[in-house]
Amino acid sequence: MPQNKAESPVQDIYELLLEAAKKQDKKKRTQLLQEIGVKEFFEEGTITIDKKTCKGVECKLCIEACPTNALYWKTGEIGIAEELCVYCAACVWSCVVDNCIQITRKRPNGETETISTQKQVLTLLDTINSTKRAKITKELFLGEVALKGTINRKKKT
């Protein structure tokens, strides 16, 4: 008679090993990034390079743009050191070929985004900057209105 999983205290060894490997990889990644002084903004992500469309032999711009040296030149192609990549999209921004480098990343709020063209990077940066500008403007404006209200009340008394 098969046992119910909820009642069984036995865990799958594969799941335990996979979980331990993920923890070890995360610890190694944190240590590597801490050593080079880079802050991690995204919980998880992936980076892929389409070797068929990559012009890496000619340009190597993505390697120069990478702040963590996660991209490197290996025999005849661009290599990726996944544990160093912070999914910042600097490589996508510098790449001369659209959809050559694809980054999929997960934000701390759970939102997942995929970036593979310069236009997508520019749109993302513009959205982030617009949001920051709106927040600062709102804080300044509301603070100024509150300050004027306080001054007007003092003048009346």
Continuous H helices in the chain = 13-36, 61-65, 90-94, 118-156
Distance CA 79, CA 72 (A): 5
The residue segments making up the domain with residue 60 are 41-116
Per-residue tokens: 82? 């996944």
Q: What is the pLDDT of residues 61-112, one digit of tens each?
A: 999 999 888 999 988 889 998 888 889 899 999 999 999 999 999 988 888 9
| Cross-strand partners of 124 | none
Count of structural domains within the chain: 2
Q: Model pTM greater than 0.85? A: no
**Of 68, 65, 57, nearest to 95 (Cα)?**
65
Residues 32-53 pLDDT 10s: 777 767 666 777 889 999 999 9
Residues 86 and 142 in one domain: no
CATH number assigned to the domain comprising residue 63: 3.30.70.20
